[in-house]
Structure 1
Amino acid sequence: MRSKYTSFTLSIALAWGVWGCAPSTGTPHPPAAVAPSVPTSAATPAASPVTSDTEAGREPPPAEGGPLPSAERAGGHEPPPSRFPEQRITLMAVGDIMVHDEQLEAARLPDGSNYDFAPFFNQVAPIFQEADWLIGNLETTLAGAELKYTGYPMFNSPDSLADTLKQLGFTALTTANNHSLDRREAGVLRTIEALDRAGIQHTGTFRDEASRNQPLLLTKDGFTLALIAYTYGTNGIPIPKGKPYLVNLIDPALIKADIARAREAGVDLVAVALHFGNEYQRQPSAAQREIAGLCIQYGADLVLGAHPHVVQPYEWKTVTLESGMSHNGLIAYSLGNFISAQRRDYKDVGVILKLTLHKGENGEASFEEAEWIPTYVHYYRKNGKRQYVIYPVSLTLAAVQQGQKDPALTKEVLNTLHRLEKEMKLHLDSLQKQEKAS
């Protein structure tokens, strides 16, 4: 079913077995473009979930006291019960979660005793109520007040940020990025402690080798997701000698081994978060495409990109595994800035990726639908104090159309939202169109 939060949705069917794949002769290919949402029953027939017995070509169960189904009337037998109940789950992911000095000022309480980040997220919070899993990239440390709270270029944020993210529903945060070591080893360890206290799972930085070698497994309603994360570097700050486990660096051999380890755990889905690419570039680089493609080749189903601080297009990647099986994966090269103080040139734009996962009666999981929900970080002043708020573009415009009032939504801001609503669909789809044309 199409979400009310976005104006463009992609209906797809990507079935995978033990290795996340299907025979190469029968794997349905994802569509080449983001298209308006259609009911599931209108998708590819072989992959569409059955919504009723009638649609499946079976007679519905009889009402109490009614006639028996035709098979029993003819002396036959009912089909054996399915091994697994049909299930669905919703995964959402956002990009960079940053706290610049201006945001610290905006969040600081009047008495200076603490920081309240919740108002930043009030407009997007209802969207996250639909998420079973919610993932983001924490691009700051939580190293404690004694190491001083600062924004760019060396980030350290209050623990109340983690508390707010937990209240929003974040299941897991990736912590492998170029700011992981902004407070050195102590900051890595303190960030892990703060996230543990907040009740948010995390991956990408670790206390020790043993925890690094255990992939993060998220479980919900019969689904299991493995989430692993890596970064291109740490801004020139060296990882302490003998402690490579502190921060996962992008290394194809390491990624391949970690994906294999996750598959051995019997997961339904492997997601790889990569902090990579060139800042402020709206198209992925050749290096990005190469390493993301390798992740799919190694058996990942989903790549979540961050670091460019602008939204980059998505790509469906179809590969042939070493086993000879065809395997499809989704690459989101960059989800942009979810929250930051960066302005203009699309640095104040992000996207929420919403994936609907389906598990059929045979126990195989599939991507059923993907949605891209553009967001815009608006900055303004109220009573002389800075304010930041993330607006979901289409939902906000729809609310205004229905007569809702928001003093922060000036004519200029509304014009920006209208422009983004049109531009982002074309931009997100641009890479797929290039691939189709070639």
Structure 2
Amino acid sequence: MPGASKPVRIILPDENDNKVVVSFAGDTVLACSLENIVKDNYSYPFANLACFKDSDLSMLNLENPITARGIKVPKEYNFRMRPDYIKILQDGGIDIVNLANNHTGDYSTQGIEDTLRYLDDAGIKHVGAGLDRADTRKPVVIECKGIKIGFLGYYNNPDFAGGTNPFNERVLKYPAR
């Protein structure tokens, strides 16, 4: 690929700067074959991604439920993250996750319930999923260096995944009302 060998240059503000650095990552699956590599080395997945720890806030799209329970929903691919792997997100510096995607409900309502509980217990904020429509649409507002930043999670796919927040332009314009 052209340019693939060029290093990415990350510029972080000085400690006394009031600018807020927010890092984002796309689809992140902490399941399946990863378990054979990570085992109990929780720092491994983010070991070379210091930008998340060095940022003021870090968010990713968590593309799997966090559960050991639940009924597998009939579909081609189902992902499920081990509950102890919540430590991967904590060690990686992840502050908030988006759950509005096609895999959060892979292990039914129990899987969604567990995911929300594990994230809450770990102090990791979440958007885009819940046990009812109102919960899926709740924004998360985080204040950092005196600046309030709002986060929303939407899922834009005609095959709506239960427990997640489908994209709706009207709702997106007025989410906090």
Same fold (TM over 0.5): yes
State the distance in 1 between where 2:63 and 2:31 align: 10
Contact 1:178–1:234 (Cα < 8 Å) also in 2: no
Which of the pair is proportionally richer in strand?
Answer: 1
Cα contact 2:139–2:152 (8 A) shared by 1: yes
**In the TM superposition, what whole-angstrom CA distance separates every residue of 1:105-141 from its partner, at most 9, and x where no partner exists?**
2223xxxxxx4342122111x3233211101000011
Pair 140,162 (structure 1): closer, same or farther in 2 beyond 3 Å: same
Q: Distance in 2 between matches of 1:234 and 1:194?
A: 28
Separation of aligned partners in 1, 2:173 and 2:59: 22
Task: Give the alignment's Cα RMSD to 1 decimal.
Answer: 2.7
Contact 2:42 2:88 in 1 (8 A): yes
CA deviation profile, 1:200-249 (whole Å, cap 9, x unmatched):
00000013455445311011110111100111248565x3xxxxxx3100
Instruction: Indicate conservation of the 8 Å contact 1:231/1:249, yes or no.
Output: yes
Alignment of 1:409-420 (within 5 A): none
Name the CA shift for 1:162/1:89 in 2 (closer, same or farther; >3 Å): same
Unaligned runs of 5+ in 2: 1-6, 12-16
Q: Take 2:83 and 2:158, find their aligned partners in 1: how far apart are those partners? A: 22
Paired with 1:206 and 1:257, the residues of 2 have a C-alpha distance of 19
After superposition, the Cα gap between the structure-2 partners of 1:173 and 1:218, relative to the gap in structure 1 and judged at 3 Å, is same
| 1:223 and 2:147 matched | yes
Residue 190 of structure 1 pairs with residue 121 of structure 2: no
Q: Secondary structure at the match of 1:87?
A: coil
Is 2:25 the partner of 1:94? yes
Equivalent in the alignment of 2:43: 118
1:133–1:171 Cα contact (<8 Å) kept: yes
Q: Secondary structure at the match of 2:154?
A: strand
Q: Which residue of 1 aligns with 2:83?
A: 159
- Residues 25 and 61 of structure 2 are in contact (CA less than 8 Å); yes or no, is this contact kept in structure 1? yes
> Which is greater in Rg?
1
Gaps of 5+ in 1: 10-85, 109-114, 240-245, 263-438
CA 1:191–1:123: 2 relative to 1, 3 Å: same
Residue 185 of structure 1: how far off its partner (Å): 1.7
**Percent of pairs with identical residues:** 20
Quote the offset at 1:166 in angstroms.
1.3
Q: Distance in 1 between matches of 2:34 and 2:132?
A: 32
Is this contact kept in 1: 2:137–2:153, CA < 8 A? no
